[in-house]
Amino acid sequence: MAPKTTAAAPAIKKAAAAKKAALKGTAAKVTRKVRTNTTFRIPKTLRLARTPKYPRRSVPRTPTLDAHAIIKFPLNTESAMKKIEEDNTLVFITDVRANKRQIKDAVQRLYDVSAVKVNTLIRPDGAKKAYVKLDADVEALEVANRIGFI
């Protein structure tokens, strides 16, 4: 061993250093990041979408405000009759929570008529009244007869 070490000393040293570095890994040499801004901003991390192991509710809830619940009944008061004959509009009492778009869709669904516009107001007794103006190609009087109130 003695005569060989003097000639191969630098090679052994290099091998020993390489072994030490390999065992320590790259984390041994810690370099500090250069920060050029005084503000620390939260780093962007991975955000995974949810993949639940079980649904919390067994079935998703069905909406309670469907077309039948939105439109309660049509009005056939004198002023409502006037609207039918003159303005081609039907007057309904609807649910207070319904909006004009929902009322339009409900009328389309229940009576198969397309509405041009819907005006709403909330009566003093708390119910919602909807004036549903029908398309020009349908007659409000005919639809009212079909629904059954006249």
Partner 1 sequence: ASVRAYELRTKSKAELAKDLEDLKTELASLRVKQHSSSSGNQQQQQQQSVPRITTVRKAIARVNTVISQVQRDQLRLFYKGAKYTPLDLRVKKTRAIRRRLTNFEKAQKTVKATKKERHFPQRKYAIKA
Tokens of 134: 């029908």
Q: What is the largest CA-CA distance in the chain?
A: 125
13 versus 72: smaller Cβ distance to partner 1: 72
> C-beta of 117: minimal distance to partner 1 in Å?
23
Site size for partner 1 (CB under 8 A): 20
Inter-residue contact 118 to 112 (CB < 8 Å): no
Taking CB under 8 A as the rule, does residue 149 contact partner 1?
yes
The closest alpha carbon to 130, from 122, 141, 139, 119, belongs to 119
Subset of 9-68 contacting partner 1 (CB under 8 A): 53-59, 68
DSSP assignment of 44-97: P---PPP--SS-SSSSPPPPS--HHHHEEEE--SHHHHHIIIII-EEEEEE-TT
Taking CB under 8 A as the rule, does residue 73 contact partner 1?
yes
> C-beta of 73: minimal distance to partner 1 in Å?
4
Taking CB under 8 A as the rule, does residue 109 contact partner 1?
no
> C-beta of 97: minimal distance to partner 1 in Å?
18
Residue 90: φ, ψ to 5°: -105, 150
Taking CB under 8 A as the rule, does residue 84 contact partner 1?
no
10 versus 63: smaller Cβ distance to partner 1: 63
> C-beta of 25: minimal distance to partner 1 in Å?
39
How far, in Å, CA of 79 to CA of 63, rounded? Answer: 34
Give the binding site for partner 1 (CB under 8 A).
53-59, 68, 71-77, 93, 110, 147-149
